[in-house]
Chains A and B, each alone.
Chain A
Amino acid sequence: MNSYAKRLMWPVLILVALIVVNIAATGIDFIIPSVNDGRLGGAFVNILRRSAPLMLIALGMTLVIATKGIDLSVGAVYAIGAAIACQMIIGQEDQSAAGLIFSAVALALVVTAVIGAWNGTMVAYFGIQPIVATLILMIAGRGIAQLITGGQIPKVQDSSPFTQLGRGEIFTIPLPIWIAALVFVAIALLTRKTALGLLLESVGGNPEASRLAGIRSKGITVLVYLVCGLCAGLAGLIGAANLGSADANNGGLWIELDAILAVVIGGTALLGGRFYLLGTTIGVVIIGTLEDTIINVGLSSQWQFTAKAIVVFAVALLQSPEFRGWILKPFKPKPEAAAPAPAPAEEVPAK
Chain B
Amino acid sequence: MSDDPIVQMTGIRKDFTGVRALDGVDFTLRPGEIHAVMGENGAGKSTLIKVLTGVHTPDAGDILLDGKSVRFHSPGAAQAAGISTVYQEVNLTDNLSVAENLFAGREPRLGPFINFRAMRRKAKALLDDIGIDLNVAAPLSSYSIAMQQLVAIARAVDIEAKVLILDEPTSSLDRDEVAVLLGVMRRLAANGTAMVFISHFLEQVYEISDRMTVLRNGKLVGEWATADLPENELIGHMLGREAVVLEQIERAAAAHHVADETPLVQAVGLGRKGSIAPYDLDVRRGEVVGLAGLLGSGRTETIRLIAGADRADSGSLSFDGAKVGGHNPRTASARGIAYCPENRKTEGLVGDLTVAENMILAMQASRGWARSIPVARRDKLVAEFIEKLDIRPANPDMPVKNLSGGNQQKVLLARWMLIEPKLLILDEPTRGIDVGAKADIQKLVAELSADGMAVLFVSAELDEVTRLSDRIAVLRDRDLIAVLESEADMTTEKIVDTIVAKGGER
Closest A residue to B396 by CB, please name it.
A350
Q: Size class of A's contact patch? A: 20 to 34
A208 on interface, CB distance cutoff 8 Å: yes
Which stretch in A82-90, A169-177, A250-258, A341-349 binds the other chain?
Answer: A341-349
Residues of A within 8 A of B366 (CB): 214
- Distance A193 CA – B375 CA, assembled complex (angstroms): 10
B357 on interface, CB distance cutoff 8 Å: yes
Residues from 348 to 370 in B contacting A, C-beta threshold 8 Å: 348-353, 357, 360-362, 364-370
Known contacts: A195-B369, A342-B17. The answer to whether A212 contacts B309 by CB under 8 A is yes
Pick from B352, B361, B393: contact of A213, CB under 8 Å: B361
Total A-B contacts with CB atoms under 8 angstroms apart: 98
Pairwise interchain contact B339-A212, C-beta atoms closer than 8 A:
yes
B347 on interface, CB distance cutoff 8 Å: yes
Looking at chain A's contact residues, the main secondary structure is: helix
- Distance A215 CA – B333 CA, assembled complex (angstroms): 10
Residue of A213, A339, A343 most packed against chain B (CB within 10 A): A213
Pairwise interchain contact A195-B353, C-beta atoms closer than 8 A:
no
Known contacts: A195-B367, A213-B333, A215-B361. The answer to whether A273 contacts B18 by CB under 8 A is no
B415 on interface, CB distance cutoff 8 Å: yes
- Distance A210 CA – B349 CA, assembled complex (angstroms): 8
Pairwise interchain contact A205-B361, C-beta atoms closer than 8 A:
no
Residues of A within 8 A of B17 (CB): 339-340, 342-343, 346
Residues from 9 to 59 in A contacting B, C-beta threshold 8 Å: none
- Distance A213 CA – B340 CA, assembled complex (angstroms): 9
Known contacts: A213-B365, A214-B333. The answer to whether A201 contacts B353 by CB under 8 A is yes
Residues from 307 to 361 in B contacting A, C-beta threshold 8 Å: 307, 309, 329-330, 332-334, 339, 341, 346-353, 357, 360-361
Closest A residue to B370 by CB, please name it.
A194
B254 on interface, CB distance cutoff 8 Å: no
Pairwise interchain contact A212-B367, C-beta atoms closer than 8 A:
no
Closest B residue to A342 by CB, please name it.
B17
- On chain B, the number of residues with a Cβ less than 8 Å from chain A's Cβ atoms is 39
Shortest Cβ distance from B326 into chain A, in angstroms? Answer: 14
Closest A residue to B393 by CB, please name it.
A350
- Distance A201 CA – B360 CA, assembled complex (angstroms): 13
- Distance A196 CA – B371 CA, assembled complex (angstroms): 9
Pairwise interchain contact A201-B370, C-beta atoms closer than 8 A:
no
Residues of A within 8 A of B365 (CB): 199, 210, 213-216
Pairwise interchain contact A209-B349, C-beta atoms closer than 8 A:
yes
Shortest Cβ distance from B424 into chain A, in angstroms? Answer: 14
Residues of A within 8 A of B348 (CB): 209, 212
Pairwise interchain contact B397-A213, C-beta atoms closer than 8 A:
no
Pairwise interchain contact A209-B372, C-beta atoms closer than 8 A:
no
Residues of A within 8 A of B142 (CB): none
What string of 1s and 0s marks CB contacts (under 8 Å) between B64-88 and chain A?
0000000000000000000000000
Residues of A within 8 A of B364 (CB): 195, 198-199
- Distance A193 CA – B373 CA, assembled complex (angstroms): 10
- Distance A216 CA – B334 CA, assembled complex (angstroms): 12
- Distance A253 CA – B346 CA, assembled complex (angstroms): 38
A202 on interface, CB distance cutoff 8 Å: yes
- Distance A189 CA – B362 CA, assembled complex (angstroms): 22
Residues of A within 8 A of B332 (CB): 214
Residues of B within 8 A of A202 (CB): 350, 353, 357, 361
Shortest Cβ distance from A278 into chain B, in angstroms? Answer: 18
Residues of A within 8 A of B362 (CB): 213-214
Pick from A198, A212, A343, A351: contact of B357, CB under 8 Å: A198
What string of 1s and 0s marks CB contacts (under 8 Å) between B175-201 and chain A?
000000000000000000000000000
A206 on interface, CB distance cutoff 8 Å: yes
List chain A positions with a Cβ less than 8 A from chain B: 193-196, 198-199, 201-202, 205-206, 208-216, 220, 273-274, 339-340, 342-343, 346, 349-351
A-B residue pairs in contact (CB < 8 Å), sample of 17 = A194-B371, A194-B372, A195-B372, A202-B353, A205-B351, A205-B352, A206-B347, A206-B349, A206-B351, A209-B350, A210-B350, A211-B329, A212-B339, A213-B361, A214-B330, A273-B352, A342-B17
List chain B positions with a Cβ less than 8 A from chain A: 15, 17-18, 307, 309, 329-330, 332-334, 339, 341, 346-353, 357, 360-362, 364-373, 393, 395, 397-398, 415
Known: A198-B357, A220-B369. 8 other contacts (CB 8 A): A198-B353, A206-B350, A209-B341, A213-B365, A216-B365, A273-B352, A273-B353, A350-B393
